[in-house]
Amino acid sequence: MRIRIAGRAAPCVVLTLLATVTGAEQAAVPASPGVPAAKAVDDVLDRPAMESTLAARRLLLGMARAGDRFVAVGPRGHIVVSSDGGQTWQQSKVPVSSDLTAVYFPTAQRGWAVGHDGVVLATTDGGATWVKQLDGRAVNSLILDDVKAKLAADPASESLQALVAEAERYQEEGPDKPFLDVWFEDENHGFVVGAYNLILETADGGKTWQSWFDRVANPRFMNLYSIRPAAGSLYISGEGGVVFRHDAANRHFNAVPVDYAGSLFAVVDAGDAVLVCGLRGNLFRSADGGATWQKVDGRLPATIVAGAPIGPRAAVLADQGGRLSVTRDGGVTFEPLKLEKNLPLTGVIDAGGGRLGLTGPFGALVVAPGAKAP
């Protein structure tokens, strides 16, 4: 079975299928027979997440540190928080039942989570409670209004005409497209990115959002999978091998092409270099701001789903088969990092003190791999 979002597979769905194969609970909640898809989306956007004693032991897709806490997100609006180093987890109150794909905390108290149906959630109490800042209904209108206004000022622009046509299609299809990653520079300024070139910016902690639909050199509207700072710049990686570097002066993301046509699911900071990684263990490194890229052996055979910096010039990568590898020389070379047991993975973070935070079909874990922290 192949699940697709608006015609193209997204990584969160691929990982849901992975969980299904391993016997974990499937993330997607299908619409009931006879219920229109748009109505089903409205239902999950307006229905708070159900409480479950198993929320921390079922499929989770991403984790973040919030000071001394760990916060993990996953299907059906589940968010769980640990205040004791991952020993126990408590489920948070969440106003939606949409599948959540990513979470980020720029401070110990302020954090954001994103997911399917254009959902953007925010917390001011370290993840205990959440409010909805955006959903796909508002996102579609925001994008369409923005590009229509720009086309009205420049009616001869073919690029704006194409953007309006695409935004009108999104509006017609309803609030079905996911955000796939979130990153905040501080508690005010941040970005969310997702399927079909979805990208928004806020400068006031999410009180207002601005569309960047026309500010990414992405004419084929490729999915945007990851956004992270690396080697002094901000990068996005996505479908079809696309990589973009932030041009702060011109408020634009410019293409920095990689000689690779497969999807790249993660941007990872390796200190003086940026790493992008994706399908079948493919890994690329640039030490000159994306001007040139070198293919690197990451010592991982399967799709690399996530990575995280863990020290100066050090980073860890995770593949979907549960294998880890680590670099301590800025991404030039890698060596395997052993876990007691290989488990299918959807995410990895630096948990501090030589530990890693892991998510997957098993839920959330904080572990100490069998290797010294750099």
Does the predicted TM-score (pTM) go above 0.95? no
- What does 277-310 look like in DSSP terms, one character per residue? EEGGG-EEEESSTTSS-EE---S--S-EEEEEEE
Q: Are strands 233-238 and 243-247 parallel, antiparallel or unpaired?
A: antiparallel
- Give the chain's mean pLDDT: 90
Rounded to an integer, the average pLDDT of 86-92 is: 98
Reduced to 3 states, what is the DSSP secondary structure of residue 94? coil
Tens of pLDDT, residues 102-129: 999 999 999 999 999 999 999 999 999 9
Percent of the chain at pLDDT exceeding 70: 87
Reduced to 3 states, what is the DSSP secondary structure of residue 365? strand
Dihedral (Cα; 58, 59, 63, 69), 10-degree rounding? -10
Provide the pLDDT for residue 92. Answer: 98
- Evaluate the CA torsion angle 134, 365, 183, 246 in order and state its sign: negative
Provide the pLDDT for residue 39. Answer: 59
Tens of pLDDT, residues 15-29: 443 343 333 333 333
Task: Go through the domains of the chain in sequence order and give each one's CATH number.
Answer: 1-48+56-214 (2.120.10)
The C-alpha atoms of residue 167 and residue 144 are separated, in whole angstroms, by 5
H-assigned helices in 108-259: 136-153, 158-173
Tens of pLDDT, residues 348-370: 999 999 999 999 999 999 999 86
Residues 6+ apart with CB under 8 A from 90: 80, 81, 82, 83, 128
Tens of pLDDT, residues 227-275: 999 999 999 999 999 999 999 999 999 999 999 999 999 999 999 999 9
The C-alpha atoms of residue 222 and residue 175 are separated, in whole angstroms, by 18
